[in-house]
Amino acid sequence: MYSRTYKSLVSAPPLLWVALFLLLPYALMFAHSLWQVQDGALVHHWNLDNYKKLVTNPVYLEVLFRTVRIAASVMFCSLLLGYPLAYYLSFHSHARKELLYQLVIVPLWVSYLVRGYAWKTILGSDGVLNGLLQYLHITHEPVSFLLYSPFAVVLTLTHIYTPFVFLAIYASLEHIPRPLVEASHDLGAGPLSTFFRVILPLSMPGLVAGATFAFVLSLGDFLAPLLVGGSSSTMIANIVQSLFGAAYDWPLGSAISVCILVLIIGLLFLTERLEKRWSFK
Amino acid sequence: MSSATTIPDVSAAAEALLEIRTVAKRFGSHDVLKSISLNIAAGEFLTLLGESGSGKTTLLRLIAGFEEPTAGEIWMSGERLDPLPPYRRRVNTVFQNYALFPHLNVRENVAYGLKVRGTASAEVLERVGQALSMVKMDEFAAARPSRLSGGQQQRVALARALVNRPQLLLLDEPLSALDANLRKQMQSELKALQRQLGITFLFVTHDQEEAMALSDRIALLRDGALEQVASPREIYAHPATAYTAQFIGQTNLLRGEIRRGIATCGPLRWPLEEPDGPALFSLRPECIRLSREGARRNSEVKFRAGIRQQLYAGASELLEVDCGAGQILRVRVPACGSLTGEHDFVFTIADALRVQE
């Protein structure tokens, strides 16, 4: 076995890293959330005023609900796109499997910003989509609701997170032993029945993992609303960003961050239990 | 390859449950099955025996519907089977690694086939109960498959297939994952179950002993073609080819020739009224006996050979003897104590079976 010295030597760097760059910042953030800003200066006066502000001021709750709504829509849309794609690739693509898999992965190599700007040029009032609509005489002037709307944010985020959702589901589908599918057919279940009775239940861990991924990452996103969202789709992370920036109210920003952190940790805890219940080893 | 007009086989068709007519299967450029024709009678226990890669599992999968034949037809009870998807066939399979649904408990696994066919829930309950007690698994009804031992999973897989009352049950090496003792026990249970239910069993194995013990008939496959189809006793006593003789049990292959009514294999000679030419004989080790008395009957061949090796196996001993001119024979005799030097051996001429190459 390994010696004590070796073990502590090997585990020290990651432990130090976690303490320095994860636990310490979180502790600082938590401390900030209990402080205040007075006359443009931070005062270390411990209180719960920031949290009270969050609960009483409807603006914050409204933005939080909108954020959850957008994140849930992104999750739903990327599941709707990712699951059938993963199912097709895993069960029916045969020889084209490798090629299709690579095609799904390729967008991951393109920068987030580039993809955001791409949607901007597609959805904008002199963009590709409006040009096409007018060329086909479906509309006579540019449609403005495409860009700078929650719709544009959901579209962009769905585009970005679908490959991740796909990967999680694909991995769990690939782990289903094929004889189980044959056994189901053998016992008289057609393709649809087999899907709902065998394949879907056995792919639940991947589905939950993918859904969590899309939801949690969308929840904390601030770039998509900045690029394509406009003022009607400000998300909670945009508020945090401005509080830490122009508004210079770190304590309130920290309080919001702590709330989101608690929300997400609770969510991860829940989904991990779900994944465990649905894995049959 | 086009499926040519099938030759009606009137004699067998009358009672055959399953008819395999000139079925071939090709994967890429590899012919896995080459024009197999085989009838299986209702209530029969037929074993597909062969080495790995002989095509036995492929033939089973064609009947179950997991693969499509490249040529030929499969008929069951007057209905053409091969164009039907697996879920429309009155055939059930016991898979090699059982393929039990891990997310369902034992009862739900067994009920699966009945439920997807929309059987009334009272009937499902009753038949699942019967099936589970038939395989002695009632007390595990609520357990998940992962909690069961290999033998128990095997029983559940059997119950899950039999509860649907298939006309034909396909078993794909169902005992190969069990240890030796459990395997023997499951063999006799399987045989008893088949007798009791009267369901036709098509059993795939590479284990010739298992095939001999269980089957009404054995179909021996070799490189995608049927080598011989016969009852275990027939196939053992009268192997048609050298391959069959060597695959089923042990044998000595004697290569020699026949000239003017005398068969000669090295130092061994005996009278045989057959046309002149090269010949191959199969002589089972247990057909050769130690000859202690001097006299020899006319129907026997007597020879003297040196003991090269002696393997003790409890009730019997396996000897390897050298009869000179490079002719080595294996001889199985009742336990006789340690032997050395040269001894007289004898075998009956009729036991030296002429076999094809």
Tens-level pLDDT at each residue, chain B (357 residues): 344 444 444 444 447 899 999 999 999 899 999 999 999 999 999 999 999 989 999 999 999 999 999 999 999 998 999 999 999 999 999 999 899 999 999 999 999 999 999 999 999 999 999 999 998 899 999 999 999 998 899 999 999 999 999 999 999 998 888 888 888 888 988 999 999 999 999 999 999 999 999 999 999 999 999 999 999 999 999 999 999 999 998 999 999 999 998 999 888 889 998 889 999 999 999 999 888 776 677 788 989 899 999 999 888 899 999 988 888 999 999 988 888 888 899 999 999 999 988
Cβ contacts (< 8 Å) between B96 and chain A: which residues? 179
Where do the domains of chain B lie? 10-240, 250-354
Cβ contacts (< 8 Å) between A197 and chain B: which residues? 112, 116
With an 8 Å Cβ cutoff, is B154 touching chain A?
A: no
Where does A57-277 sit in CATH, by number?
Answer: 1.10.3720.10
Where do the domains of chain A lie? 57-277
Answer whether A189 sits within 8 Å of B160, measured CB to CB.
no
Is-contact A186 B87, C-beta < 8 A? Answer: yes
Q: Which of B108, B116, B147 to mutate to test the interface with A (most CBs of A within 10 A)?
A: B116
Cβ contacts (< 8 Å) between B85 and chain A: which residues? 185, 190
Q: What Å distances lie between residue A280 and A194, A276, B15, B97, B108, CA to CA?
A: 18, 8, 45, 16, 15
Which pLDDT does position B62 carry in this prediction?
96
d(CA A201, CA B162): 25
The phi-psi region of residue B78 (left if phi > 0; otherwise alpha if psi is between -120 and 50; otherwise beta) is left
Ordered strands of the B168-172 beta sheet: B91-94, B168-172, B200-205, B45-49, B217-222, B225-230
| A200: closest chain B residue by CA | B103
CATH superfamily of B10-240: P-loop containing nucleotide triphosphate hydrolases (3.40.50.300)
Q: Which of B90, B92, B97, B101 to mutate to test the interface with A (most CBs of A within 10 A)?
A: B101
Which pLDDT does position B191 carry in this prediction?
92
Query: With DSSP H G I counted as helix, E B as strand and the rest as coil, what are the percentages for chain B, rounded to 5?
Result: 30, 35, 35
Burial class (CB in 10 A: 0-12, 13-18, 19+), B145: buried
d(CA A141, CA A151): 20
Structural class in CATH, domain B250-354? mainly beta
Which pLDDT does position A281 carry in this prediction?
56
Q: Is the per-residue pLDDT at A179 higher than 90?
A: yes
Return the minimum-mean-pLDDT range out of A162-166, A189-193, A254-258, B183-187.
Answer: B183-187
Answer whether B113 sits within 8 Å of A188, measured CB to CB.
yes
Termini Cα distance of chain A? 29
Helix, strand, or coil (residue B294): coil
